[in-house]
Amino acid sequence: MSLVDVWLPYGNTEVCLRIATESFLGMIQPNEKKAAENPQEEIERSLNEPIGTRRLLEIVKPDDKISIVVNGAEDPSFNLMILKSIVRELNDAGAKNENINVIGGYDPLRIDAKKIAVDPWHDEMLKGVDLTDHNYEAENVINVGETSFGTKVYLNRRFAESKIKVLAGLLEPHPYLGYSGGRGAVLPGVSSLETIQHNLSMVTDPRARPGSLEGNPVHEDAIEAARLVGVDFTLNVVRNRRQEIVKAFAGDLDEAFKKGVRFADEIYKVPIDVRADVLFVSPGGFSHDANLYESCKGMNSALEAVKKNGVLALVAECSGGYGNRTFYEYITKFKDSKRVENSLKKQFTAGGYIAYCLMKALERVEMILVSALPDYYALEVFKLKTAKTVNEALRYALATKKNARVLAISHGNVTIPIVKQP
């Protein structure tokens, strides 16, 4: 019997899964895209060649008050790179740094959601620029209207009252927005708690999933909110699975985002012929598998690749334990996903949402966890079977699923399997 070695990211290393060749359907991973030779130049190229609108330096007047919302990476060097490019463009238009306000956008799914690495942004080009994080609980907000979904849109007053409004950040798969980027810098980025909660009351809609925009109420509500306030310019940056910048899309709120999404689809959406009986999923190594909470963020996508009542083996180091207290509390408090869904409609919490994703998975498949998480938490709290190694997990899966066909996903938190014949 011939065997194939399948290497899966695990923490800062990899583990080897050995599968019989005749049982292995293949490895699913984001499609390869070569990184830009010079990321800074690629960002500046996009600013020079905007999609659907004029260049930023042609829009801005010297005395304009300008707000830039950055929904970026947790890597400060990335945030600094995109900021420097935008500020240089504004300076070329005659804008003064003291008239430029940079706001770190809010992301409910970050454990430390209020913080977006602003401290390292100190740079000579940014001298005089005001750098702040958005506080979604602040009372200094302004209402700019109401969406067709009934969301009253209250936004950061300084942003809403700026003459020029710019959005910048990453465009990549998002658990319920479909893709991050663009409108996400407004809602939830600079929105009030009331506005965010109403938007995220729709998070359990089956169309609110990674890579899904059409009919996705969370996305459509957010785009309406961004249109209400009036956005002048956007910058969306797409990376490959190694988190290297590949391409940037700047310009109009809708057109630049849509073109960026089409490009991102080419990377992250991966067609498969059939669903597997047994699926091995690595979130992608550290930091995607730093804890169980982070590791479950790609659960909605992964489930597309495995049959109902199949086996899903989650290969995630979880060196930081379960990772989110609310996640733990929802798992212990609620007996099934329907009760969590009802709770999320009343009040969204990030931990509750990830608990919902895990519960939905457990109701559909049998799950095995290969990790460093103590068995007490895995077995007693989160109701997951455990295995010490990936090959032990495979032996268990094959014993329960005769003649099983096996798939593997190497970067589960950014991979969107698309079944050719559902």
Q: What is the model's pLDDT at position 139?
A: 87
For CA atoms 206, 211, 216, 222, give the dihedral sign: positive
60 and 26 inside one domain: no
- Which residue segment(s) compose the domain that 343 sits in? 3-30+273-419
Spans in the chain with pLDDT lower than 50: 112-120
- Whether 143 and 235 share a structural domain: yes
Q: Are residues 120 and 25 in the same domain?
A: no
Same domain, 394 and 346: yes
Same domain, 221 and 297: no
Same domain, 192 and 295: no
The pLDDT assigned to 124 comes to 78
- Domain shared by 77 and 205, yes or no: yes
What are the pLDDT digits (tens) for 378-402? 999 999 999 999 999 999 999 999 8
**Same domain flag for 223 and 343:** no
Which of residues 220, 237, 267 is at a domain's end? 267
Which CATH number does the domain housing residue 357 bear? 3.90.226.30
The predicted-structure confidence for 157-207, as pLDDT tens digits, reads as follows 999 999 999 999 999 999 999 999 999 999 999 999 999 999 999 999 999
| Domain co-membership, 249 together with 155 | yes
| CB-CB contact of 184 with 142 (8 Å) | no
How many domains does the structure of the chain reveal?
2
**313: Cβ contacts below 8 Å, ≥ 6 apart:** 278, 279, 280, 281, 367, 368, 369, 370, 387, 390, 393, 394, 397
* Sequential DSSP letters for 395-422: HHHHHHSTT--EEEES-GGG-EEEES--
Phi and psi at residue 176, to the nearest 5°:
-135, -15
Boundary-marking domain end, from 214, 244, 267 = 267
Would you state the pLDDT for residue 210?
96
pLDDT at 114: 43
Q: Please count the other Cβ atoms lying within 10 Å of the Cβ belonging to residue 62.
A: 10
Q: Looking at 267, 286, 305, which one is the last position of a domain?
A: 267
Residue 274's alpha-carbon distances to 252, 281, 307, in angstroms, are: 38, 16, 9
Whether residues 239 and 348 share a domain: the answer is no
User: Is the domain of 118 the same as that of 222?
Assistant: yes
pLDDT at 284: 95
Q: 62: domain CATH number? A: 3.40.50.11440
55 and 79 share one domain: yes
Which residue is listed with tokens 């430390």? 112
